Structure 1
Amino acid sequence: MMTGAHVFQRRKVWDLPTRCGHWLLLLLFCGSRWTAENGEMQWHRYMGYVMAGVLVFRLYWGVFGSTTARFKHFLRGPASTLAYTRELRRRARQPAPAGHNPLGALSSTVLLFLLLAQVCLGLLAVDVDGMEAGPLSFYVSFEAGRFAALWHERVFNLLLFFVAVHIIAVMLYWLLGGQNLIVRMISGRDDQPGSATELWFAPLWRSVLGVALAGILVWYLQSLDIPL
């Protein structure tokens, strides 16, 4: 593929742990909503515990993972993000940079922060009659648990909004620039200049420690989940 004076080739951009984490968070988010709306609170809690584990892994992988997964690689300042946004229509027609573009980085960071807040609040939340409570609610007062429950619901509504924005942005890239970011997050491959900087991919064994940390957290939270 050629664009102007540049020759582009299909290259690996996203590693397997990053892609698995991305789709797991999506599935868990949808499952958490369904279980909450249908009163399946035991399954809702289990999904929350697994989501906590996936988020812990993502934080670990953001420091010790492959180039495009690391926070220092894709986090941008306000000036870079604003400049990119002003030229969004033109940028959407160009092959995406390796990993997140500045706008995608902002969106992913906001979603990650909100998911972390949502999970933490859920672990502390207590319902009105005290019959349903997060496994860490015994660390706080009943009033604090009710406060956490209130904000657990509010943050969820914020998440719905930002997930919608995220989906709209992906669709705009597809419609305006013909870039199918969904397929790229599945395959892990993207069009990159032949002169692009080489990316480093962490060996899969490095992910074992992150998976172990996530597993320990899920086991601990589940061990505290004693029916009231």
Structure 2
Amino acid sequence: MTEQLEKTYLWDPVVRVLHWALVIAFFTAFGLGKFGPAQMTLHFYAGYAVAVIVVLRVIWGFVGFTTARFATFVKGPGKVFAYARTLPSSNPSRSYGHNPVGAIFVVGVLIVLAMQVTSGLLADPEDYINVGPLAQYVSSDVARKALSYHEPLSFLLLLMVIGHIGAIFWYKKRKGENLVTPMVTGYAQLPPREAPAE
């Protein structure tokens, strides 16, 4: 029997714009940090953009559209493990928003991004040029520690992004689900159910 699917509104414009803006801002900051000019002004601007996006996404996680809210998609350990057991299956998940395992990634990446931004704001490489704007308000020990965390956190974020892309390919190849198109159009093909309310 063929599964009945219908066009379902899933991701609101705020989530979609913030998602793709974060992709651009993160890779811009990463590229400038690793390969850009010695003077990190443009890297700082990209970092500020990341900071704004993270703050807006956290706010939207409390007041936004249903599928964007943390209260909707963050689940307890029982539901996370129950969903995780279905991952090897070829059956589509048909999640109405972030699934319980994906929710861990969303929260985790927001936390790591916040740590990365904070470390950049506080870092002082002692070159008198690329000093974080908040470094003057903390001790030199804190500024040096922030600097020591900044680069490792960037590579952790890169690994998380690679894992995210891998998951997208896994869902497409193994489960036959396209996770990219809904993040572009806002709509996904899902089984009928009561539409989420704002």
User: Which AA in structure 1 matches 2:53?
Assistant: V
The 8 Å contact of residues 14 and 69 in structure 1, kept in 2 or not, is answered as yes
Q: CA deviation at 1:47?
A: 0.8
The 8 Å contact of residues 95 and 191 in structure 1, kept in 2 or not, is answered as no
Instruction: Report the more deviating stretch, 36-45 or 127-136.
Output: 127-136
The residue that corresponds to 1:25 in the other structure is 22
TM-score normalised by structure 2 residue count: 0.93
**Residue 51 of structure 1: SS of its match in structure 2?**
helix
Q: CA deviation at 1:39?
A: 3.3
Q: CA deviation at 1:174?
A: 0.4
**Residue 6 of structure 2: SS of its match in structure 1?**
strand
Alpha-carbon distance between aligned partners in 1 of 2:104 and 2:46, rounded to the nearest angstrom: 25
The residue that corresponds to 1:44 in the other structure is 43
Tell me whether 1:11 sits opposite 2:8 in the alignment.
yes
The residue that corresponds to 2:158 in the other structure is 160
Alpha-carbon distance between aligned partners in 2 of 1:2 and 1:190, rounded to the nearest angstrom: 17
Alpha-carbon distance between aligned partners in 2 of 1:130 and 1:2, rounded to the nearest angstrom: 65
Q: CA deviation at 1:160?
A: 1.4
Alpha-carbon distance between aligned partners in 1 of 2:52 and 2:129, rounded to the nearest angstrom: 25
The residue that corresponds to 1:186 in the other structure is 184
Which structure 2 residues correspond to residues 88-99 of structure 1 after superposition, within 5 A? 88-90=87-89, 93-99=91-97
- Candidates 102, 108, 113, aligned match of 2:106: 108
- Percent identity between the aligned chains? 36
Alpha-carbon distance between aligned partners in 2 of 1:189 and 1:93, rounded to the nearest angstrom: 20
Alpha-carbon distance between aligned partners in 1 of 2:91 and 2:7, rounded to the nearest angstrom: 16
- Candidates 137, 140, 143, aligned match of 1:142: 140
The 8 Å contact of residues 50 and 117 in structure 2, kept in 1 or not, is answered as yes
The residue that corresponds to 1:213 in the other structure is none
The 8 Å contact of residues 2 and 8 in structure 1, kept in 2 or not, is answered as no
Alpha-carbon distance between aligned partners in 2 of 1:80 and 1:20, rounded to the nearest angstrom: 29
The residue that corresponds to 1:222 in the other structure is none
The residue that corresponds to 2:62 in the other structure is 63
Alpha-carbon distance between aligned partners in 2 of 1:163 and 1:59, rounded to the nearest angstrom: 19
User: Which AA in structure 2 matches 1:160?
Assistant: L
User: Which AA in structure 1 matches 2:30?
Assistant: R
User: Which AA in structure 1 matches 2:32?
Assistant: T
TM-score normalised by structure 1 residue count: 0.81
Please give the per-residue CA displacement for 1:110-168, whole angstroms capped at 9, x wherever unaligned. 11111111111111111143431111111101221110011111211211111111111
**Residue 88 of structure 2: SS of its match in structure 1?**
helix
Q: CA deviation at 1:2?
A: 4.2
**Residue 190 of structure 1: SS of its match in structure 2?**
strand
Runs (4 or more) in structure 1 with deviation over 6 Å come to none
User: Which AA in structure 1 matches 2:5?
Assistant: F
